[in-house]
Structure 1
Amino acid sequence: MANKVETVLIEPLFKSLQQEHFVTVATIDYETGAPNVSAISWVYAPDEKRIYFAVDNRSRIVKNIHHHPATVITLITNESTYSISGNAHVKKEKLDEVPLKLALIELNISEVRDVMFYGAKISVEPAYVKTYDEKAAARLDKQVMDVMKKA
């Protein structure tokens, strides 16, 4: 996909976003106008044109999107790094089906770019572990992903 701009998720990206995955989200800071980047994992693609993600509803991400919808998700998968941009909006202010105060954000994709530098590929995708109660983390992750899949 190098040097090619897509307007939807290609199959390997869509497949990666059918489960929890490490991504970064970049928004425009509502106070400074500067870029603001956060790492998240509750992300899901309901189709090739949209991405849902869940964040604390008091998050700066939510405030930023309310002021300016331009958003970029960076995804490392398929041996490369992808920049997925578009306009986001708060689809639901609070997910009642989960115990945390989470907002559901919807990103309407306008552009997908392979942004990996020339002559390289990702050999190992980022991995992470939850550092709190393993059973509670698994239960919460399932609740959040199930809600996003039904949204």
Structure 2
Amino acid sequence: MPNLVENVLIDPLITALQKELLVTISTVDHETGGPNVSAVSWLYAMDARTILLAVNASSRIVDNILHHHNLVVNVMANESVYAIYTQAKVKQKRMENVPLNLSLLQLNIQEVRDVMFYGAKISSTPAFEKTYDLEAAKKLDQQVMDSLRKFT
């Protein structure tokens, strides 16, 4: 059975991407032209065609997007693994209402592929824990997610 290919997010992915979730993103490295992979959790699906992503303003991710707009989000949700191919742009160089120097990226969805290998499903999604001050982490996460949600 061939894997699913869509040009928008399916409903279970929208739901998964409207809460803090561990995903990996891949960009094209602006110096080497090779892949650059990062783990992130501050993203929010605005709708079936758009994802917002908050990242450190001085990160390599931002530099890469300024040179090459392709960005892939790899997410485990809905018992499968999806590669979400996007065209990314810096929407805000410095996000408002958050204490860190974060940039806001807008990811315009081009294609969504179910890339799980045949005959398998994800039985539990990856979990993560913050390793610094839990109260500070919770407050920061809330500020960032609230800031992302204000665009909907």
TM-score by length of 1: 0.98
> For the residues of structure 2 that align with 1:97 and 1:4, how far apart are their CA atoms?
38
Q: Distance in 1 between matches of 2:2 and 2:70?
A: 23
Q: Report the CA distance between 1:96 and its aligned residue.
A: 2.2
Determine if contact 1:29/1:35 at 8 Å carries over to the other structure. Answer: yes
Displacement of 1:2 in angstroms is 5.0
Gaps of 5+ in 1: none
CA RMSD of the aligned region, Å? 1.0
SS state at 1:142 partner: helix
1:123 and 1:89 mapped to 2: Cα distance? 34
Say if 1:2 and 1:114, in contact at 8 Å, map to a contact too: no
Aligned residue pairs: how many?
151
State the secondary structure of the residue aligned to 2:20. coil
2:129 equivalent to 1:129: yes
Determine the structure 2 residue equivalent to 1:105.
105
Q: Per-residue deviation at 1:119?
A: 0.7
User: What TM-score comes out, normalization by structure 2 length?
Assistant: 0.97
Gaps of 5+ in 2: none
- Deviation of 1:48 after TM superposition, in Å, equals 0.6
What is the distance in 1 between the residues matched to 2:29 and 2:118? Answer: 30
Residue 6 of structure 1 is matched in structure 2 by 6
Structure 1 residue ranges (4+ consecutive) displaced by more than 4 angstroms after TM superposition? none
- What's the CA shift string for 1:35-94, capped at 9, x where partnerless? 000000001001010011100000000000000000100000111000000100001001
Maintained 8 Å contact 2:96/2:147: no
Residue 31 and residue 51 in structure 1: after superposition, are their counterparts in 2 closer, same or farther (change >3 A)?
A: same
Partners of 2:90 and 2:104 within 8 A in 1:
yes
Report 1:1-150 matches (<5 A). 2-150=2-150
Note if contact 1:54-1:103 (Cα within 8 Å) is conserved in structure 2.
Answer: yes
Query: What SS does the corresponding residue of 1:96 show, helix, strand or coil?
Result: coil
1:106-139 CA distances to partner (integer Å, 9 max, x unpaired)?
1000100000011110111000000000000000
Alpha-carbon distance between aligned partners in 2 of 1:91 and 1:148, rounded to the nearest angstrom: 11
